[in-house]
Amino acid sequence: MMNKLAAWWSHPRFAKARPMLIDTAVPAACYYILHSWLGLSAILAFSVAAAILAARVVATAVRERRIDSFQILVLASILVSLALAVLAHDSRIALLRGSIYSAVLGLGCVVTTFVGKPLLERIMRPGLALTAPGLEAAWEQCWDTDQPFRRRVRQLNLLYGASFLASAATRVWVVYHTSEGVAVAASGVPGLIISGVVAVATGVLAMPLVTAMEQVRKENAEAEESVEAGS
């Protein structure tokens, strides 16, 4: 069993997913060990988790000379959790927990639509590497050479960012403009409606991306077969 796990962890196709898994699992494990198992305060547990991830952000910046947008997103989420722990006495704040996380994610998507690579690209690529051989390479090739592909990815990124922000804003409105009972029952309804609309729009916008990647992957596979046949 351990050998299989080790082989899975070290597999080249999993290389892009490993850092993201570490960035999410290590702070989460730190929090649950300190707070749930050892009984320390949530504020202390979140502070330690934030310090660990902040150290990874600095290490990535020094080693790779870049800021990892996914690490920043996770760090922001932990800092939000820390703030919520400090404000835990406010019952309405507890209802806003999900909307605050949505706002952080939405802001990250909107900013990266115009600055650097889209956050959506950062999140999707590890999944592509695990889905099928050659799919991540096809994504990279399309991103580097196909301007309509890049534009559509940025459109999707902006769509998701706007939907997350809209979901957060509507939840805040419901929580603070209705009774607590109504807020508990209905605060998530606008977000579900927005998600349904976004799902339909995603199907329309994403289909050309899938078609382009599959075409490039097919061409790359045929080129490899030709080289092998010639040798």
Q: How far apart are CA 158 and CA 152, in angstroms?
A: 10
Burial state string for 157-193 with b = 16 or more CB within 10 A and e = fewer than 16: bbbbbbbbbbbbebbbebbeeeeeeebeeebbebbee
- The pLDDT assigned to 1 comes to 54
- The pLDDT assigned to 195 comes to 81
Q: How far apart are CA 204 and CA 190, in angstroms?
A: 22
Q: How far apart are CA 59 and CA 125, in angstroms?
A: 22
The DSSP code for 32 is: I
Q: What is the pLDDT along the chain (231 residues), one digit of tens a residue?
A: 556 555 555 655 556 667 777 888 888 888 889 888 888 888 888 889 889 989 988 888 888 887 777 788 788 888 887 887 777 666 666 667 677 778 888 998 999 999 888 988 877 776 676 666 677 788 888 888 889 999 999 999 999 999 999 988 888 888 787 776 666 666 667 777 888 888 888 888 888 888 888 888 888 877 777 776 665
Measured CA to CA in angstroms, residue 173 lies from 81, 98, 121 at distances of 21, 14, 31
- The pLDDT assigned to 135 comes to 79
- The pLDDT assigned to 190 comes to 73
Is pTM beyond 0.85 here? no
Query: Computed from CA positions of residues 124, 126, 129, 135, in that sequence, does the dihedral angle turn out positive or negative?
Result: positive
- The pLDDT assigned to 163 comes to 92
- The pLDDT assigned to 165 comes to 92
CA torsion, ordered 110, 111, 115, 117, to nearest 10 deg: -60
- The pLDDT assigned to 110 comes to 93
**Residue 228 in 3-state DSSP?**
helix
Q: Is 78 exposed, middle or buried (0-12, 13-18, 19+ CB in 10 A)?
A: buried
- The pLDDT assigned to 162 comes to 93
Q: How far apart are CA 179 and CA 57, in angstroms?
A: 41
